[in-house]
Amino acid sequence: MSRIEVPMPQMGESIAEGTVSKWLKAPGDAVERDEPILEISTDKVDAEIPAPAAGMLAEILVGEGETVEVGTVVAYISEGATEAAATPEPEPEPSNVSADAPDGANRNAAPSAAAIPLPPVPSSEPGAVAAGDGASEEVVCTTTSEERLRTRSTPVVRRIAQEAGVDIASVPGTGHQGRVTKQDILSFIESGGAKAGLPAEDAPPTPSRVTPQQRDIAEPTPEAGDPEAPARPAEAPRVPAVAATRAAPPTRTPKAAPPSDLWKRFHKEVEHPVFPVREGDRVETMNKVRRLTAEHMVLAKRISSHVHSIIEIDFSIVDRIRRENKARWAERGARVSYTAFVAWACSRILRDFPSVNGTISGNNIVYRGAVNIGMAVDLNPGLIVPVIHDADDLSLVGTARKIIDLATRAKSRQLSPGEIQGATFTITNPGVLGTIVGMPIIPKGTSAILGTGSIDKRVVVVADPATGEDAMAIRKRSFFSLGYDHRLVDGADSARFLSRLKELLEDFPEDA
């Protein structure tokens, strides 16, 4: 009977990892080929993952709520199996029979859930575990498989628990079979659960970006009986590493990111500070959209050197064109908004400003060959940015139709992965909700974002067309802000871009 791997799929060229949202099948369930067996979430889309073959779901390796890299095996399917146990077949366990027992004695006896012997370790006696001072002692494992799964967690979870003085076994887990996830431990600490752990004076100091490997090197274990050794809180006997990771495949072994890959290293280490919860507060775990938004905003703010420039634009001519053509556009099934005018204008001038349409990648500058405009869409709550690819090839009406189509399908969660990636420039419109001007954060992988404010009637000074003298007039005007990465875009480049945009919108072509 062959076992088929179920890997975390690649949902887009820029997606490096995915989160298991929900398992639709349990171990032991029969599955058909192409039948959905789990739901995953990425920073782009949610999707159901089908079974690659018919058979039985033999083993689940990644629990709900866990995030793993693309290509990581998340489960195994026993191809062609018609019936099997609901749990994976256990690996051979070392026998408790003495070394001089006759061959075959109790070799096939199934270990009970209450006393499962540990895997073999380098020792002359079965079950002996090396202690910190070199002595050996008999250790008998009395935990069930579910309990072992709960205490087996990621390095990040273990580090957070250690720093907060929390026993992972006391944390309610929401992962697969009660496994403790990162959100579980953070929620437990925020709710005051850490008080049940180590006293504050006994809790280990919080390291400053120290990896578990570095901590092991920097803090060697003191020798037993050493009078100079600092007092440490009592710890449960350590289970050999081979026992703790027995059910994990080699691909699940944590590996340090290459030192040169700063982006990936920081992305993996993004953690938000924890604050005390006061009386009357309500604590909720962040959902996927909010968590990913928070991580991306921290990353973008840390990487890009943000600067903002603001300009005021007169929409009088745009407003007149909309009024005059509204009925004609409606007959063609199109609704042209102010945002469509702005997107069309940006698409026409971005090729003249390659730095605004580019990005910094490592020590290189990438000048994009296409003009792909991301349009921020409010999901209330949440935010998503679908992309108009090759926007400079569309007419004004074509741009308007594309915006409405993407926004409609974004709110109903019907976008494909390709429709929410590849943006070279982004437009966000807080003005639709009355905001006068915004200071948006530049999305990663781009160098600029345009924020459009509310379009309001204002009293302004204009030249009287008859006399040429200054006169008071009422005009529809709006403030635009351009957020740009100062590593690539200079202030003068930003000013020239905004000036060109102002000229195009204030003298908008009738044949667009």
Burial class (CB in 10 A: 0-12, 13-18, 19+), 50: middle
Given the residues 392, 490, 493, 511, the one annotated as active site: 490
Cα 133 to Cα 3: distance, rounded to the nearest angstrom? 43
Q: Please give the Cα distance from 78 to 3 (Å, whole number).
A: 5
Q: What's the rounded Cα separation, in Å, for the pair 125 and 117?
A: 13
Verify whether residue 103 is a known catalytic residue.
no
The interaxial angle of helices 316-331 and 338-349, nearest 10 deg, is: 110
Name the residue type at position 260.
Answer: S
Catalytic residue among 393, 486, 493, 507: 486
| CA 415 – CA 407 distance, rounded (Å) | 9
CA angle centred on 69, ends 66 and 72, rounded to 5°: 90
Q: How far from the centroid of its chain's Cα atoms is residue 339's Cα?
A: 29
Question: Regarding beta strands 387-388 and 373-375, do their DSSP bridges make them parallel or antiparallel, or are they unpaired?
Answer: antiparallel
Closest CA to 79 of 35, 32, 136, 149: 32
* Token pair in block for residue 70: 């693309």
Nearest to 313 by CA among 508, 503, 473: 503
Of the candidates 336, 445, 337, 427, the one whose C-alpha atom is nearest the C-alpha of residue 388 is: 427
Known catalytic residue: 486?
A: yes
Distance CA 154, CA 166 (A): 15
Its sign, for the CA torsion 191, 193, 194, 199, is positive
Q: What is the DSSP string of 353-405?
A: -TTTTEEEETTEEEE-SS--EEE-EE-SS-EE--EETTGGGS-HHHHHHHHHH
Active site residues: 486, 490
